[in-house]
Amino acid sequence: GAGVSQSPSNKVTEKGKDVELRCDPISGHTALYWYRQSLGQGLEFLIYFQGNSAPDKSGLPSDRFSAERTGGSVSTLTIQRTQQEDSAVYLCASSTSGSTDTQYFGPGTRLTVL
Amino acid sequence: SQKIEQNSEALNIQEGKTATLTCNYTNYSPAYLQWYRQDPGRGPVFLLLIRENEKEKRKERLKVTFDTTLKQSLFHITASQPADSATYLCALLSGNTGKLIFGQGTTLQVKP
């Protein structure tokens, strides 16, 4: 079946603009994660959704970052008033139910803030 | 503070040799550890999971060890091939919420 998809694949924006990044998880997966990967760095956890539970937002770097997951499926990561240090690849992953389950990653969205 | 360290230097080996990658962690007591492969421009792909009560896990040419005393995992690729060239990431479960903490990855280059 289809894997995790993300859109857009690339986004170039100007400093101060808002951006929205979209993630379509694998159908039936109840857990969804967002990560950020800067050049040459490992993955930095941002936020985790599990079913109808309150999301774990402990990794969001500032209040300019927010995410929602509608209907337990598609998720949108929003970055307001983007800064140059927000430039990175944003990766989304999903798993069947979280905890020890394998995470399946999307291809990522490369965000460049000029 | 909690920390995961992987060799930041690239590992270059000759085809056919065994590649060994290291993952060290501090201030964690993870229930399990995962290894992922990441190719340029792509998201990570899950390879293996090893639990704290398992010393070793194998899958085809891959072998992972987990030493909770040393707080270290070793990832081995035997009979390495140029197609194994990629970045390999280790990840630990943080708490019981399903949140994974990743190392920065080690890039492996297998030369023909």
* DSSP labels, A70-97: STTS-EEEEE-S--GGG-EEEEEEEESS
Q: Tokens representing A91?
A: 């990766």
Residue-number span of the structural domain to which A68 is assigned:
5-113
Closest Cα to residue B66, out of B100, B58, B85? B58
Q: What confidence tier does A98 reach under pLDDT thresholds 50, 70, 90?
A: low
Q: What confidence tier does B100 reach under pLDDT thresholds 50, 70, 90?
A: confident
pLDDT, one tens digit per residue, over A71-87 is 879 999 999 999 999 99
Whether A42 has a pLDDT exceeding 70, the answer reads yes
pLDDT, one tens digit per residue, over B18-44 is 999 999 998 877 878 899 999 998 999
**What is the mean pLDDT of the segment spanning A30-36?**
94
Please tell me the predicted confidence (pLDDT) of residue B30.
80
The answer to whether the CB atoms of B44 and A105 lie below 8 A apart is yes
Query: Is the CB of residue A74 less than 8 Å from the CB of residue A27?
Result: no
Chosen for mutation from B59, B100, B101, B107 (greatest number of chain A CBs closer than 10 Å) is B100
State the virtual CA torsion across B26, B28, B31, B34 in degrees, nearest 10. -50
The answer to whether the CB atoms of B98 and A101 lie below 8 A apart is yes
Q: Which residues of A touch B10 (CB under 8 A)?
A: none
**Which residue among A31, A99, A105 places its CB closest to the CB of B43?**
A105
**Which residue among A59, A100, A103 places its CB closest to the CB of B32?**
A100
Q: Any residues with CB less than 8 A from the CB of A92 and at least 6 apart, and which?
A: A4, A6, A23, A25, A32, A33, A34, A35, A75, A77, A105, A106, A108
Q: Which residues pair with A88 in a beta bridge?
A: A111
pLDDT, one tens digit per residue, over B84-95 is 999 999 998 876
Domain made up of B3-111: CATH architecture: Sandwich (2.60)
Place of tokens 């340029």: B40
**Which residue among A42, A48, A98 places its CB closest to the CB of B105?**
A42
Residue B96 to residue A3: CA distance in whole angstroms? 25
CATH code for the domain in which residue A78 is found: 2.60.40.10
Chosen for mutation from B88, B102, B107 (greatest number of chain A CBs closer than 10 Å) is B102
The answer to whether the CB atoms of B102 and A42 lie below 8 A apart is yes
> How many distinct structural domains can be found in chain A?
1
Residue A74 to residue A72: CA distance in whole angstroms? 7
Averaged confidence pLDDT in chain A: 92
Q: Where are the domains of chain B?
A: 3-111
